[in-house]
């Protein structure tokens, strides 16, 4: 960058250097916006984002199912422990 202008330099085959001022509208090099590339990239991004959101939704459902199963197992465990406790109490009453 020289005096606020952007230059591109290249080495010529004869060993000399040449440069193009990228800020000059008549320069053979121009700055263009690749709208097709941006649209393609956005479409790819949206597709991947949708896939991740779907996977996230599936994982949320699986997690809720596992939490429900765990809760049921906790309840069953508490019931079994209560039955065992009652049986132990009844067994000791029988011997007393």
Report the predicted TM-score, pTM, of the whole model to 2 decimal places. Answer: 0.53
What pLDDT, in 10s, does the model give residues 9-38? 778 889 888 777 776 666 666 667 788 899
The CA distances from residue 82 to 30, 62, 64, 69, 70, in Å, are: 81, 30, 27, 20, 18
Residues 6+ apart with CB under 8 A from 22: 5, 6, 7, 8, 29, 31
> How much is the pLDDT for 48?
98
pLDDT-based confidence at residue 91 (cuts at 50, 70, 90) = confident
> How much is the pLDDT for 3?
65
The two structure tokens encoding residue 3:
């005096």
> How much is the pLDDT for 9?
78
What pLDDT, in 10s, does the model give residues 45-69? 999 999 999 999 999 999 999 999 9
Q: Using an 8 Å Cβ cutoff, are 49 and 37 in contact?
A: no
């Amino acid at each position: 960058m020289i005096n606020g202008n952007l230059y591109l330099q290249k080495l010529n085959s004869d060993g000399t250097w040449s440069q193009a001022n990228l800020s000059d509208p008549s320069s053979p090099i121009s700055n263009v916006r690749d709208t097709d590339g941006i649209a393609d990239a956005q479409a790819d991004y949206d597709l991947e984002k949708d896939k991740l959101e779907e996977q996230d939704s599936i994982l949320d459902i699986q997690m809720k199912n596992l939490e429900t199963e765990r809760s049921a197992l906790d309840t069953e465990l508490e019931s079994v422990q209560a039955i065992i406790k009652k049986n132990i109490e009844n067994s000791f009453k029988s011997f007393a």
